[in-house]
Amino acid sequence: MVPFYRIAALLAEKPTGMEIAVNGWVRTRRDAKGGFSFLEINDGSGLANLQVIADEALPNYHDEVLRITTGCAVRITGVAVPSPAKGQEIELKASRIAVEGWADPLVYPLQKKRHSYEFLRTIAHLRPRTNSLGAVTRIRGSLSFAVHQFFHQRGFIQVHTPIITTSDCEGAGEMFTATSLDLDRLPTTGGKTDFGQDFFGRRAGLTVSGQLEAEAYALAMGNVYTFGPTFRAENSNTSRHLAEFWMIEPEMAFCDLAGDIDLAEAFIKHLVRHVVENCAEDFALFGRFVDTTLPDRLHRILAGPFPRISYTVAVAELHKSGRDFAFPVQWGADLQSEHERYLCEEVFDGPLVVTDYPKTIKPFYMRANDDGKTVAAMDILLPGIGEIVGGSQREERLDLLGERMTAQGLDLDEYGWYLDLRRYGSAQHSGFGLGFERIIQFVTGMGNIRDVIPFPRTPGSASG
Ligand code: ATP
Ligand code: MN
């Protein structure tokens, strides 16, 4: 049996002088004068292609090899030899080339030229065959491993929180409904849809956050985290919002807001360091072709502690700026993305932690501060991205939590299980959510969040 190699391993190991096999897709074919052709093969294992020399002595050279075009799937056997060409150490001298799948060049949409990301979005099923989307895909996969590595190294237990839930964590009503009712013949009661007849006997939806369930597990297991898909039916057609995205949510018992920020900062640094150290080839592509300031920006994340300021100080900074923002700056109003970007891109020129937001703009579960006006919340902002992390110390006091929920119009009976966590063995606890796609945007410099997830779901678009 001829040993099989993935191209990345082959280029690293360079097993010259022996026969080996590779599979992949042809990026280009070039015919030389002396009766042979060069094929550039990529198999997804890395950015670099393998150069294959196809000699006319191959039995199918004239019938098949000369008809090979960009996109064809091939299985190749050959001997790796040192390459005389610049930029590659070895090439493969083919003894056998089998074309497994043709790709008609008259209709195959991915030709050798550079395509725009907008165009590639219209062929989401083919775009992983390009250099940039291939590199994003490898970085995404590697970062997913780094997420689990980070928490396992620290003794956190992963919990799988439900995707179908009945609790709207943010209380914002931006949930997708999950129903099995016949939409053409909805049962009604009092003029409204009767969800009592639906699958779960009540209205259910796709989760907007696993936090509330993670809290239940943190108050039993100590430190837990979730990493799963999250759904928001918000109509934000921006370069930083998806209707379906992946979120990492750690939750820690016996931990206050400062400890929560410490963990989030260490986590962001771990992910950035992972990409710089373990995804060097793909990372270099983005530094060269997508954003030349990227390497410097990432190294600055690792350089020192993230500055921490309160919301009140942030508002004062914005007032001091004298800028004419589209959204007026006012204590009590939420920071808009223009404000967040001004603070971290122009004032601090790097990552920034903002804490202690007004309680009126934050959800019920955040812990009330002694000033009566603010809650123990924190957001982490990154240059070019804005909010990457949103977190808080949770309200562990039953009476105060009940008051907040009532004030926000929530039905206490619905959240009986959540209140139980404060009735029995309540403890200080904190957590946060980090958007996986946003950190991928940050480490790749990709401008649009639709290009860092395989099949993006956004308002008006869920195909492929
Ligand atoms: P934003 O203000 O940016 O809309 P948010 O305050 O609604 O975000 P959280 O509910 O705090 O977000 O969610 C935690 C994290 O999840 C955010 O910090 C962000 O990184 C990520 N995130 C939130 N909404 C989206 C979305 N629609 N698409 C992708 N990532 C998101
Ligand atoms: Mn937030």
- pLDDT value at position 171? 53
Correct CATH for 2-101 of 3.90.245.10, 3.40.640.10, 2.40.50.140, 2.60.120.620: 2.40.50.140
How many whole angstroms from 426 Cα to the centroid of ligand 2? 25
How many whole angstroms from 379 Cα to the centroid of ligand 2? 7
- pLDDT value at position 173? 59
Q: Does ligand 1 lie within 6 Å of residue 362's CB atom?
A: no
Q: Output the six-digit token pair for 171.
A: 């209380």
Distance CA 146, CA 153 (A): 10
Check whether 280 has a pLDDT greater than 90.
yes
Q: Does ligand 1 lie within 6 Å of residue 232's CB atom?
A: yes
Nearest-ligand number for the alpha carbon of 337? 1
Q: How sure is the predictor about 282, in pLDDT bands with cuts at 50, 70 and 90?
A: very high
Q: Does ligand 1 lie within 6 Å of residue 249's CB atom?
A: no
Nearest-atom index, ligand 1, CA of 236? 27
Check whether 350 has a pLDDT greater than 90.
yes
Nearest-atom index, ligand 1, CA of 380? 18
Nearest-atom index, ligand 1, CA of 170? 10
- pLDDT value at position 254? 98
How confident is the model over 58-69, as pLDDT tens digits? 999 999 999 999
Best mutation site among 206, 237, 438, 461 for ligand 1, i.e. most ligand atoms within 8 A of its Cβ? 438
Query: Considering only CA atoms, which residue is closest to atom 16 of ligand 1?
Result: 435
How many whole angstroms from 74 Cα to the centroid of ligand 2? 47
Check whether 170 has a pLDDT greater than 70.
no
Query: Considering only CA atoms, which residue is closest to atom 28 of ligand 1?
Result: 241
- pLDDT value at position 401? 97
- pLDDT value at position 146? 98
Check whether 55 has a pLDDT greater than 90.
yes
Q: Does ligand 1 lie within 6 Å of residue 247's CB atom?
A: yes
Check whether 84 has a pLDDT greater than 90.
no
- pLDDT value at position 113? 79
- Calculate mean pLDDT across residues 397-426: 94
- pLDDT value at position 369? 98
- pLDDT value at position 85? 81
Q: Does ligand 1 lie within 6 Å of residue 339's CB atom?
A: no
Distance CA 426, CA 432 (A): 19
How confident is the model over 198-244, as pLDDT tens digits? 999 999 999 999 999 999 999 999 999 999 999 999 888 899 999 99
Query: Considering only CA atoms, which residue is closest to atom 22 of ligand 1?
Result: 435
The position carrying tokens 């019938």 is 63
Q: Output the six-digit token pair for 262.
A: 């410490």
Q: Does ligand 1 lie within 6 Å of residue 435's CB atom?
A: yes
Q: For residues 269 and 298, is the Cβ–Cβ distance under 8 A?
A: no
CATH number of 127-172+208-451: 3.30.930.10
Nearest-atom index, ligand 1, CA of 438? 20
Distance CA 276, CA 303 (A): 13
- Nearest alpha carbon to residue 309 among 358, 373, 379, 249: 379
How many whole angstroms from 312 Cα to the centroid of ligand 2? 17
HEC per residue, 88-101:
CCEEEEEEEEEEEE
How many whole angstroms from 435 Cα to the centroid of ligand 1? 6
- pLDDT value at position 168? 61
127-172+208-451 and 2-101 share a CATH fold: no
Nearest-atom index, ligand 1, CA of 379? 18
- Nearest alpha carbon to residue 432 among 150, 224, 274, 229: 224
Q: Does ligand 1 lie within 6 Å of residue 383's CB atom?
A: no
Distance CA 125, CA 112 (A): 17
What residues does each domain of the chain span? 2-101, 127-172+208-451
Check whether 169 has a pLDDT greater than 60.
no
Q: What is the percentage of the chain residues whose pLDDT exceeds 90?
A: 91
Q: Does ligand 1 lie within 6 Å of residue 395's CB atom?
A: no
- pLDDT value at position 235? 85
Q: Which residues surround ligand 2, an ion (CB under 5 A)?
A: 390
